[in-house]
Amino acid sequence: MRFIHISDTHLGYHQYGLKERSEDFFDVFNEAVDFAIEKKVDFVIHTGDFFHSSRPSNHVILQGMEILERLRDANIPIFVISGNHDRGSQVRDISPLKILQPLGLNLVDSGVLEYEGLFIGGLKYISKAGLRQIEGIKKILEKYLEEMGNGFRILLLHQEFQPYFPDSSLNMTVELIEGFDYIGIGHYHIAQTPAVINKATVVYPGSTEFTAYNEKEEERGKGFYYVQVDGKTIKPEFIHLKRRRPFLYYTLSEEEIDQTVKQIKQDLERFEEGKKPVIILKGTLKKLAPSDVIGYFKNEGISSEESNLLHINFNLTREFVDTDGVIIETTEENIKEELKKLIGDEQIFSSVVETLTFLKSFDSIDEVKKYLKENPDFIDF
Ligand SMILES: [Mn+2]
């Protein structure tokens, strides 16, 4: 038996408001589908955040349909769960993935299904507040195991787990009880080396593209898993996606700005063919204002109009100085400490941090506004 495990495809994400970035997410998904068709795999599993939004546009729904049609034509079934991005709201609406069911998408959000002697259990994303109410997911998984017969047992999850999310209430070794063969998990965007936990092969493929640039993600690469199963031997192999957008990351210091510019110009020469890179420029400014830096780059001809690049993301912060000229460190931990004191309640504090961390993954306030409008039940504490 052979299958591919893909996750967090975030179809419909319009990063930086660019059409090209929206197409990128579709491109890499199609690259994985190409692989699945070429290898004639038995099926595909997807562990959530198929769409970036619970209200994908008509255009994005159509793109999702195209992908499913390709798999259907090749007789390859796909099993999917809803992630936090595409689960829909419990109260007002259903998961947008239900729209794709008539095209062959098997949604496994809450239960077990049997497919040719194999058992697939799936659980859509449950928020922190939801997890507190049900006290973890262990009981649900016990029920799933009771429903599963003898055969290969797959579990699909989209959840935060310790140790990847240190604040999480879910601990892998505690929650992922023995009895499953393969546990595929989505949500964490950095791919992980497969591990064996309670006798199950646990796999995190990460996202297929960058939703927010992260150096660790770059190190690990973007891709999906190709899984070969022979009896009880499970061999997951990470497949790198070639059509992903290249990202170049630089740390900027005011003193060496000309050197960074020189380096960028040199690095851009490597990308004459293929997709144009996105540049992430991170730095703390003491003397210059962010607009000075932006102006400097424009003058040097480093812009999407004049250079071989798609977009520059200026991620610049200013270091604050108090009235005596003393630098006040504005680290995130400091802010968190103050916030904790202000809120008082530990659980509300952790929900606020969770919410803010999630919102930080957006690139502009307009995207945040759009997301909140589309997901009115997002803040549930
Ligand atoms: Mn995701």
Reading the block at residue 344, the tokens are 């008082």
Domain range for residue 341? 335-374
What is the number of domains present in the chain?
Answer: 3
The answer to whether the beta carbons of residues 54 and 86 sit under 8 Å apart is yes
Domain-embedded: residue 325: no
User: Would you say residue 345 has pLDDT above 80?
Assistant: no
How far is the centre of ligand 1, averaged over its atoms, from the C-alpha of 98 (Å)? 18
How far is the centre of ligand 1, averaged over its atoms, from the C-alpha of 216 (Å)? 16
At 50 the pLDDT is 97
* Positive/negative CA dihedral, 107, 109, 112, 118: positive
Task: Point out which residues pair with 158 in neighbouring strands.
Answer: 186
Task: Enter the DSSP assignment of 82.
Answer: -
Alpha carbon 266 to chain centroid distance?
31
Lowest mean pLDDT among 129-133, 200-204, 216-220, 320-324: 320-324
Nearest 10 degrees: CA dihedral of 354, 374, 130, 187? -60
Reading the block at residue 237, the tokens are 């192999």
The answer to whether the beta carbons of residues 254 and 225 sit under 8 Å apart is no
| 75 shares a domain with 125 | yes
- Structure confidence at residue 91 as a pLDDT band (50, 70, 90): low
How far is the centre of ligand 1, averaged over its atoms, from the C-alpha of 265 (Å)? 33
How far is the centre of ligand 1, averaged over its atoms, from the C-alpha of 51 (Å)? 9
At 82 the pLDDT is 95
At 320 the pLDDT is 65
| 220 shares a domain with 269 | no
The answer to whether the beta carbons of residues 329 and 323 sit under 8 Å apart is no
| 251 shares a domain with 235 | no
DSSP annotation string for 231-300: TTEEEEEEEE-TTSPPEEEEEE-GGGHHHHHHHHHHHHGGGSSSSPPEEEEEEEESSS-HHHHHHHHHHT
At 331 the pLDDT is 53
How far is the centre of ligand 1, averaged over its atoms, from the C-alpha of 52 (Å)? 8
Q: What is the mean pLDDT of residues 3-10?
A: 98
| 258 shares a domain with 223 | no
How far is the centre of ligand 1, averaged over its atoms, from the C-alpha of 25 (Å)? 12
Alpha carbon 311 to chain centroid distance?
21
How far is the centre of ligand 1, averaged over its atoms, from the C-alpha of 11 (Å)? 10
Which one has a higher pLDDT value, 290 or 188? 188
How far is the centre of ligand 1, averaged over its atoms, from the C-alpha of 211 (Å)? 8
Lowest mean pLDDT among 47-51, 172-176, 362-366: 362-366
| 92 shares a domain with 51 | yes
How far is the centre of ligand 1, averaged over its atoms, from the C-alpha of 357 (Å)? 13
User: Would you say residue 330 has pLDDT above 60?
Assistant: no
How far is the centre of ligand 1, averaged over its atoms, from the C-alpha of 285 (Å)? 31
| 295 shares a domain with 349 | no
Tell me the per-residue pLDDT of 15-64, one tens digit each, with 9 for 90 and over. 888 999 999 999 999 999 999 999 999 999 999 999 998 889 999 999 99
Reading the block at residue 365, the tokens are 């306030």
| 307 shares a domain with 190 | no
User: Would you say residue 81 has pLDDT above 70?
Assistant: yes
How far is the centre of ligand 1, averaged over its atoms, from the C-alpha of 49 (Å)? 5
| 130 shares a domain with 8 | yes
| CA-to-CA separations, 20 to 62, 67, 245, 268, in angstroms, rounded | 17, 18, 9, 18
Lowest mean pLDDT among 25-39, 274-288, 292-306, 332-346: 332-346
Which one has a higher pLDDT value, 175 or 322? 175
SS3 content of the chain, % helix, strand, coil (to 5): 35, 25, 40
The answer to whether the beta carbons of residues 224 and 6 sit under 8 Å apart is yes
Phi-psi region of 199 (alpha: psi -120 to 50; beta: other; left: phi over 0): left
Q: Which of 10-19, 51-60, 174-183, 313-322 has the largest mean confidence?
A: 174-183
How far is the centre of ligand 1, averaged over its atoms, from the C-alpha of 186 (Å)? 7
Q: Residue type for 376, please?
A: P
The answer for residues whose C-beta is within 8 angstroms of residue 331's C-beta and 6 or more apart is none
At 132 the pLDDT is 87
Smallest CA-to-CA distance from 23 within 324, 244, 335 is with 244
How far is the centre of ligand 1, averaged over its atoms, from the C-alpha of 153 (Å)? 24
User: Would you say residue 329 has pLDDT above 60?
Assistant: no
Distance CA 209, CA 244 (A): 6
How far is the centre of ligand 1, averaged over its atoms, from the C-alpha of 141 (Å)? 22
DSSP annotation string for 186-228: ES--S----EEETTEEEE----SS-SS--HHHHHH-SEEEEEE
Tell me the per-residue pLDDT of 221-273, one tens digit each, with 9 for 90 and over. 999 999 999 988 999 999 999 999 999 999 998 889 999 999 999 999 999 88
Angle 305-279-269 (CA atoms, 0-180°, nearest 5)?
70
Domain-embedded: residue 65: yes
**CATH number of the CATH domain containing 151:** 3.60.21.10
Distance CA 32, CA 241 (A): 7
Domain-embedded: residue 134: yes
Distance CA 105, CA 83 (A): 15
Look over the chain and give the mean of its residue pLDDT values, rounded to a whole number. Answer: 89
| 120 shares a domain with 8 | yes
Domain-embedded: residue 117: yes
How far is the centre of ligand 1, averaged over its atoms, from the C-alpha of 8 (Å)? 5
| 175 shares a domain with 272 | no
Domain-embedded: residue 381: no
How far is the centre of ligand 1, averaged over its atoms, from the C-alpha of 92 (Å)? 22
| 236 shares a domain with 145 | yes
Domain-embedded: residue 329: no
How far is the centre of ligand 1, averaged over its atoms, from the C-alpha of 277 (Å)? 22
Residue 272: Cβ within 10 Å count? 8
| 199 shares a domain with 79 | yes
Q: What is the mean pLDDT of residues 164-179?
A: 92
How far is the centre of ligand 1, averaged over its atoms, from the C-alpha of 302 (Å)? 31
User: Would you say residue 364 has pLDDT above 90?
Assistant: no
